[in-house]
Structure 1
Amino acid sequence: MKNKTTNEILIIDLEATCWENDRIPIGQKVDIIEIGICELNLTSKAISKKQSIYVIPERSEINRFCTNLTGITPQLIEEKGIYFEEACEKIKDEYHSLPLSWAGFGNFDKEQIFEQCDWLGIEIPFSYDYLNVMYEFKDHFNLPKMMGLKRALNYLKMNFEGNHHSGADDAYNAAKILREILQ
C-alpha cells in the first residue's frame, strides 16, 4: 500500500465509553474518549508520533466498568480532554491526515469515527483509504479466522508493549503488526 503523496500510514485505536455486557443505558450512546494514533513510515518502517488524544464524551458518561477496562477516568478527561471536533482538527493539523491512508485493528475504529463525525456534521479527519489490520493479518498468514491484537502479537512472537486498552499503546502494537505484514 502506497500513499499518493507521502510515505506514511496512520494507525489509530479508539477507546470509547462502554458498559458491562454491552448494556448501553437509555439515552446514552457510545462516545470516543481516546484516540490513540501513531505514524508508520513505509520506507524506513519507523513508528513515530505516538500519542493519546483524550476526548470529552458528549452523549454518555464514563462509568467504573469503563475506567477499569481503559484506565480512563472522568478526572483524566476533565484535565486533558478536548471535544471530538477539536480532536479531529488536531489530527488534521499535526498529522496532515487527509491525504494519508489510515489503519486500525478491526472495523470498530473506522465505523465509530464515521458515526461520530456524521452525528456532529463534521468532516472525517482521514481519507477513505482505510486498512483493517486484523483482516490483513488473517489474510497474510492464511489463517482460518480473525484473532485479537494480543493473540496476533503472540503469533508473531512479539510482546505487547504498554497497556492493553490504552489507545496509544494499542495503535502502536497494531502498527508493529502492520509493519511485519508489509515486510
Structure 2
Amino acid sequence: MDSTGARRLLNVVDVEATCWDRGQPPGAVSEIIEIGLTVVDLATAERLARHRILVRPARSTVSAFCTELTGLTQHEVDGGVGFAEACRLLAAEHHAGSRPWVSWGDYDRNQFTRQCQSTRTPYPFGRHHTNAKAAFTEAHGLRKRPGMAQALEIAGLRLEGRHHRGEDDAWNIAALVLHLSERGAWPDPTPAAAKKLVCGTDGTG
C-alpha cells in the first residue's frame, strides 16, 4: 500500500548540481551530482527512510566553490551513476512516477526537466509535485519565501546535518513538510492543488 489507503507517502527530493562562483566555464553546463530523497508518511507523521544517489557529471566538473558549498568532490561523484541510471533508479526503486513528490522551491523540478530534455532521458517523476517553500510561506503568512534554513528557524526546528548536502536537505525539508501537516496546512497532492503551488519559477533557497 503506498499513497492510498492507510499510508500517505511522499518523496521529498533535494538535488545538488555543479556550480561556479564566477560563471560557467566555456562548454560546461550545470548538472545534478547528488539526489537526496526522504520518504514521508503523512498518516503517521514520520520520516520513514532517507536515500542518496550520487550522479557522475558528463559535461562539467566539480569546482572548488562547489566542493566548499556542498562538501562533494570530483573524486566522490566520479564513483556515482550516470544521470540516466539515476532517473531509472528513482522510477524503479523509489516510485517516483506514482508517488507525489516535494521540493523546496522549483529549482529541483526545473533542473530535472532541463537535464532530462538535454540528455533525452525519460522524466522520472509524476505530475503531483508540491513546492514546499510556497506552502510554508502561505501557511505562515510571510511576505517573502524563506530559504530552508530560515524556515527551520521559523518553525522552531533544528537543522540536522549539513546544509547544501542533498541527503541532509531532503531530511530537513521533510521535517518542514511534517510541521505543515501537523498544522493542517499541507496541501492535498492532487493535480488541481499542486498546480496552484507549482506554477512559476523559484530559487533554490
Q: Where on the TM-score scale, by shorter chain, does this alignment land: which range?
A: over 0.9
Q: How many residue pairs end up in the alignment?
A: 180
Partner residue of 1:14?
15
2:136 counterpart letter in structure 1: F
- C-alpha separation in 1, matches of 2:56 and 2:82: 5
Task: State the shift of 1:49 in Å.
Answer: 2.2
Corresponding residue SS for 1:111: helix
Where do 1:69-88 residues align within 5 Å?
A: 69-79=69-79, 81-88=80-87
Which structure 1 residue ranges, 4+ long, deviate > 3 Å from structure 2? Answer: 2-6
1:34 correspondence with 2:34? yes
Aligned Cα RMSD in Å? Answer: 1.5
Partner residue of 2:132?
133
Give identity over the alignment, percent: 32
- C-alpha separation in 2, matches of 1:41 and 1:106: 21
Corresponding residue SS for 1:20: coil
1:70-121, Cα deviation, whole Å (9 max, x unpaired): 0110111123x10011111111121122111101001100000111111121
Corresponding residue SS for 1:162: coil
Task: State the shift of 1:4 in Å.
Answer: 5.5
Partner residue of 1:167?
166
Which 5+ residue runs of structure 1 have no aligned equivalent?
Answer: none
Which 5+ residue runs of structure 2 have no aligned equivalent?
Answer: 183-205
Where do 1:1-183 residues align within 5 Å?
A: 3=3, 7-21=8-22, 23-79=23-79, 81-183=80-182
Q: Which moved more, 1:119-128 or 1:159-168?
A: 119-128
- C-alpha separation in 1, matches of 2:78 and 2:56: 8
TM-score relative to the length of structure 2: 0.84
1:46 counterpart letter in structure 2: E
Corresponding residue SS for 1:110: helix
- C-alpha separation in 2, matches of 1:63 and 1:100: 34
- C-alpha separation in 1, matches of 2:14 and 2:100: 14
Corresponding residue SS for 2:50: strand
1:51 counterpart letter in structure 2: H
- C-alpha separation in 1, matches of 2:68 and 2:25: 18
